[in-house]
């Protein structure tokens, strides 16, 4: 058993191994070397133990992770794999062994070595794998990332189920179930029409752009797939550029793509040479909130079911340890619907609203997270292989686009969405009333191409029957309009689409501005400037900054109007869910609908726009990039970080999301960009916001940031002779 680790000029790891198990070990090892701090943060977040070294600010997340039973669900899903798919279970174990070897080496102050007992020891709590290759490395010794010293955290041990827990942790809020709490409040105070009025993707929802151009529309005659996933920008990044090559004559594959650190294989964006695939968030609704009536008994806790019978709920208590503070004891309750994530048995059982909220989500119900698709994706040769693999996918629910070198094309939804009553999708439903049970699973929709093109940007597309809130169509419409400007495209042309800054959603506000009369001279001049503006949110544009200033002022005025006063205080819920319930961001992201509605609860919108223009006219001239800057999430603050200026905005194809009315800083945006060329894989391109390495100060920690800011992409290197060998491992 052998494997080699190679790097390109950007430090991106290219791994080559004799078989799939060895390759999984190598992927785990190199990920731990490059992303040790990130891996340990994600492991602790998945387990609900991050406050033990991050402090009180992490408690709310830890409590949610514990109450939602993320780690326990991951264990159950791994047990399902052991029973039904032992090959994938062994593959996960090998990856985890590589992670543990790399973490142990980091804890020892250097790379893994075969005579290091800390590396070769298998933790007693885990099953030993069938394969543990010794390691010899030419890499010089390195110190652990500085974050470990800052927090006192010691790298720990991963379990075979930890990658599943990391995946769950990263995606448990992906479908936006907290929005059901917002809708309930909005319907209660404003009426049922508020659901559609405020329906738009917001700061808590992850989206993406993706487009597929078939061979009939390219210069090579082969398809091109391109796009960019929009997520919270994290440091280190949520996507890891990687190449995985297996030389086994009976199991040969060679895949480049974007992996999630802590998870083996390449789930979302990959190119095998013969076939390439990419995803966008389908915006499907597949998680339910139930209002529960709970009561304490001498034996524990009971929950009232839809048949009118009180049934025993499981109950335990746990301690959440907090750095520098006393531990927090929490009660974990789970009903037949799912784990209780908010509230408890103390509320009056006769209360019609119930006193607790339980969360029902597919992997908790079925014990399956869809990891059985990961190895088949690596082995895919044609679109049909990708299609079959994704038949087993579970969470998150995605729209998939794929193409192969033989002209095969795929545009479908993948995942698992329960069949249940329509109200389940909109609001929390009463657990004690019949009619809200899950009765099966939806068949996943499929779609085709129009004139050789498929575009998906979280708008109402093939997944429309499966969701409630979708993104406005602006990004999708703009991408299609740009692609329709010419008949033939190449892979090299695609960055121009990635970086387009036209803001179509500006129209309703500009229309109201156009109708203003009797303004002050300064406001009149500002009005006229905005009406001449090209509607591009470029970083160096003063007009874009002026528009954003007016928009923010309008949002604040609407949010302060008495008509929305009842929505200013969110309902009792975990603190981590509050971004979905805050009024000002909801108004900011729904502003287009609110301004365009025939009537808005008696709000004088023209007055709000007039006052906002007068307010913005008093501001000193500025450029959009002066305030619109990149603010990535970090587990620990970095005082040395200097936020770069950004172009783009929430509804631009270059989707760099600020929160209108609150801040121009962008915490969400393109977490990667990619172009997959089916004619020549070596003509493919990719980039991430920061770099391939997770350690501050490392040469490859932020070296891709200038490319990302300029909208440029790095080449995908496929010639092994152009790579630098970092280590070669043999028995």
Average pLDDT over residues 58-83: 98
Instruction: Give the pairing of strands 310-322 and 325-334.
Output: antiparallel
Q: How far is CA 168 from CA 64, 171, 175, 684, in A?
A: 12, 5, 12, 30
Average pLDDT over residues 278-292: 97
Domains 288-360 and 504-669 share a fold: no
Long-range contacts of 119-125 (CB under 8 A, 24+ apart): 122/97, 123/157, 125/157, 125/159
Residue for token pair 């429309």:
464
Q: How confident is the model at residue 352 (pLDDT cuts 50, 70, 90)?
A: low
CA distance 338 to 288: 9
Q: Are 208 and 214 in contact (CB under 8 A)?
A: no
Share of the chain above pLDDT 90, in %: 87
pLDDT of the residue at 364: 98
The reported pLDDT for the residue numbered 142 is 54
Q: Kindly report the average pLDDT of the chain as a whole number.
A: 92
Please say if the pLDDT value at position 573 is more than 90.
no
Q: Which residues lie closer than 8 Å to 637 by C-beta, 6 or more apart?
A: none
What pLDDT, on the 0 to 100 scale, is given for residue 571? 81
Residue 83: which residues within 8 A CB-CB, separation 6 or more?
A: none
More confident residue, 132 or 52: 52
On whether the CB atoms of residues 390 and 373 are closer than 8 A, the answer is yes
pLDDT-derived band of residue 719, with 50, 70 and 90 as boundaries?
very high
> Which of helix, strand or coil describes residue 344?
coil
**The domain 504-669 is classified under which CATH number: 1.20.1250.20, 1.10.357.10, 1.10.1400.10, 3.40.718.10?**
1.10.1400.10
Question: Which two structure tokens, joined as six digits, stand for 143?
Answer: 């110190």
SS3 state of residue 472: coil
Range with the poorest average pLDDT among 43-57, 218-232, 266-280, 350-364: 350-364
Q: Which residue has the higher pLDDT, 141 or 186?
A: 186
SS3 726: strand
User: Which DSSP state fits 123?
Assistant: P
The model's pTM: 0.94
- Model pLDDT, residue 201: 66
pLDDT interval class at 106 (50, 70, 90): confident
- For 24, 210, 270, 448, the CA distances from 409, given in Å and listed in that order, are 29, 14, 15, 9
Q: What pLDDT band is residue 353 in, cutting at 50, 70 and 90?
A: low
Mean pLDDT of 661-686: 97
**Residue 213 and residue 491: Cα distance in Å, rounded?**
10
Q: CA 574 to CA 348: how far, in whole Å? A: 20
**Tokens 């159950």, residue located:** 76
Q: Choose among 479, 539, 495, 502: nearest CA to 711.
A: 495
Q: Per-residue pLDDT averaged across 104-119, rounded? A: 53
Q: Which band of pLDDT confidence, cut at 50, 70 and 90, is reported for residue 207?
A: confident
- How many helices (H) does the chain have, and how many strands (E)? 24, 27
Unique residue bearing structure tokens 């300064």:
522
Q: What is the DSSP string of 617-666?
A: HTSPP--HHHH-BB--B-SS--TT--PPB----TTSSS--EEETTTEEEE
pLDDT tens readout for residues 455-480: 999 999 999 999 999 999 999 999 99
Domain residue extents for the chain = 3-172, 288-360, 504-669
CATH number 1.10.439.10 is the correct assignment for the domain at 3-172: yes
**Helix or strand run (H / E) with residue 316:** strand 310-322
Q: Which residues contact 265 (CB under 8 A, 6 or more apart)?
A: 24, 27, 244, 259, 374, 375, 377, 378
What does DSSP say about strands 340-343 and 325-334: parallel, antiparallel, or unpaired? unpaired
Nearest to 79 by CA among 94, 92, 66, 69: 92
CATH topology of domain 288-360: Penicillin G acylase, beta-roll domain (2.30.120)
Query: Phi/psi zone of residue 607: left (φ > 0), alpha (ψ -120 to 50 degrees), beta?
Result: alpha
The pLDDT assigned to 131 comes to 43
Q: What pLDDT digit, counting tens, does each position of 693-713 carry?
A: 999 999 999 999 999 999 999
pLDDT value of residue 354: 67
Structure-token pair, residue 56:
């009180």
The distance of Cα 49 from the centroid of its chain, to the nearest Å, equals 21
Going by pLDDT thresholds of 50, 70 and 90, the confidence category of residue 574 is: confident
Model pLDDT, residue 206: 61
Q: Tell me what pLDDT residue 133 has.
A: 46
pLDDT tens, residue by residue, 584-641: 999 999 999 999 999 999 999 999 999 999 999 999 989 999 999 999 999 999 888 8
| C-alpha to C-alpha distance for 120 and 595, rounded to whole angstroms | 64
What are the structure tokens assigned to 474, written together?
């602006």
Percentage of the chain beyond pLDDT 70 is 92
Helix axes 59-67, 20-47, angle to 10 degrees: 110
Angle, alpha carbons 106-109-114 (nearest 5°): 75
In terms of Cβ atoms closer than 10 Å to its own Cβ (0-12, 13-18, 19+), residue 117 is exposed
Mean pLDDT check: name the lowest of 317-331, 563-577, 581-595.
563-577
- Supply 4's token pair: 């080699």
């Amino acid at each position: 058993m052998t494997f080699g680790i190679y790097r390109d000029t950007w430090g991106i790891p290219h791994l080559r191994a004799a078989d799939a198990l060895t390759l999984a070990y190598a992927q785990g090892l190199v990920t731990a070397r490059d992303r040790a701090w990130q891996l340990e943060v994600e492991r602790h977040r998945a387990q609900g133990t991050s406050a033990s070294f991050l402090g009180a600010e992490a408690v709310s997340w830890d409590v949610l992770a514990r109450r939602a039973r993320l780690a326990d669900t991951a264990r159950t899903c791994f047990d399902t794999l052991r029973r039904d798919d032992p090959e994938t279970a062994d593959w996960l174990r090998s990856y985890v062994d590589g992670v543990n070897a790399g973490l142990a080496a980091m804890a020892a102050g250097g790379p893994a070595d075969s005579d290091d007992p800390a590396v070769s020891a298998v933790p007693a709590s885990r099953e030993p794998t069938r394969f543990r290759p010794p390691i010899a490395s030419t890499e010089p010794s390195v110190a652990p990332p500085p974050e470990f010293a800052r927090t006192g955290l010691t790298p720990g041990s991963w379990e075979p189920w930890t990658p599943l827990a990391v995946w769950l942790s990263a995606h448990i809020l992906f479908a936006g179930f907290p929005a059901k709490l917002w809708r309930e409040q909005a319907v209660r105070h404003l009426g049922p029409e508020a659901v559609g009025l405020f329906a738009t993707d917001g700061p808590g929802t992850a989206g993406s752009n993706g487009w597929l151009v078939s061979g009939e529309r390219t210069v090579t005659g082969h398809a091109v797939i391109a796009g960019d996933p929009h997520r919270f920008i994290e440091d280190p990044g949520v996507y890891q550029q990687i190449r995985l090559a297996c030389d086994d004559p009976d199991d040969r594959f060679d895949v480049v793509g974007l992996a999630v650190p802590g998870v083996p294989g390449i789930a979302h964006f990959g190119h095998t040479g013969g076939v390439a695939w990419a995803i966008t968030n389908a915006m499907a609704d597949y998680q339910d909130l139930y209002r529960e009536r709970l009561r304490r008994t001498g034996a524990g806790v009971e929950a009232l079911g839809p048949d009118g019978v009180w049934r025993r709920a499981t109950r335990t208590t746990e301690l959440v340890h907090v750095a520098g503070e006393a531990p927090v004891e929490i009660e974990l309750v789970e009903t037949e619907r799912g784990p209780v994530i908010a509230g408890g048995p103390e509320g009056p059982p006769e209360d019609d609203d119930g006193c607790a909220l339980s969360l029902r989500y597919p992997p908790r119900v079925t014990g399956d997270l869809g990891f059985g698709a990961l190895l088949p994706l690596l082995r895919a040769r044609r679109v049909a292989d990708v299609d079959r693999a994704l038949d087993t996918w579970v969470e998150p629910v995605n729209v998939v686009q794929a193409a192969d070198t033989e002209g095969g094309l795929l545009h479908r939804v993948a995942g698992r969405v329960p069949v249940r009553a329509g109200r389940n999708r909109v609001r929390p439903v009463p657990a004690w009333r019949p009619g809200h049970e899950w009765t099966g699973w939806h068949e996943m929709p499929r779609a085709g191409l129009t004139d050789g093109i498929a575009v998906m940007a979280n708008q109402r597309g093939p997944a429309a029957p499966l969701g409630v809130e979708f993104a406005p169509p602006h990004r999708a419409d703009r991408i299609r309009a740009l692609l329709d400007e010419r008949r033939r495209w190449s892979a090299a042309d695609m960055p121009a689409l990635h970086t387009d800054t036209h803001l179509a959603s500006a129209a309703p506000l500009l229309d109201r501005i156009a109708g203003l009369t009797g303004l002050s001279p300064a406001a009149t001049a500002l009005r006229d400037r905005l009406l001449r503006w090209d509607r591009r949110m470029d970083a160096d544009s003063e007009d874009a900054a002026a528009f954003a200033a007016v928009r923010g002022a309008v949002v604040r005025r609407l949010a302060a109007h008495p008509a929305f006063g009842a929505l200013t205080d969110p309902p009792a819920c975990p603190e981590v869910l509050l971004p979905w319930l805050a009024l000002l961001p909801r108004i900011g992201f729904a502003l287009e609908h609110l301004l365009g509605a025939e009537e808005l609860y008696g709000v004088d919108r023209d007055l709000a726009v007039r006052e906002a223009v007068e307010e913005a006219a008093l501001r000193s001239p500025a450029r959009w990039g002066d305030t619109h800057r990149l603010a990535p999430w970090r587990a620990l603050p970095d005082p040395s970080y200097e936020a770069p200026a950004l172009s783009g905005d929430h509804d631009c194809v270059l989707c760099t999301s600020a929160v209108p009315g609150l801040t121009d800083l962008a915490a969400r945006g393109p977490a990667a960009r990619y172009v997959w060329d089916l004619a020549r894989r070596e003509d493919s391109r990719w980039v991430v916001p920061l770099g391939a390495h997770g350690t501050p100060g490392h040469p490859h920690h932020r070296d891709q940031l200038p490319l990302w800011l300029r909208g440029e992409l790095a080449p995908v290197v496929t010639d092994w002779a152009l790579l630098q060998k970092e280590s070669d491992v043999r028995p």
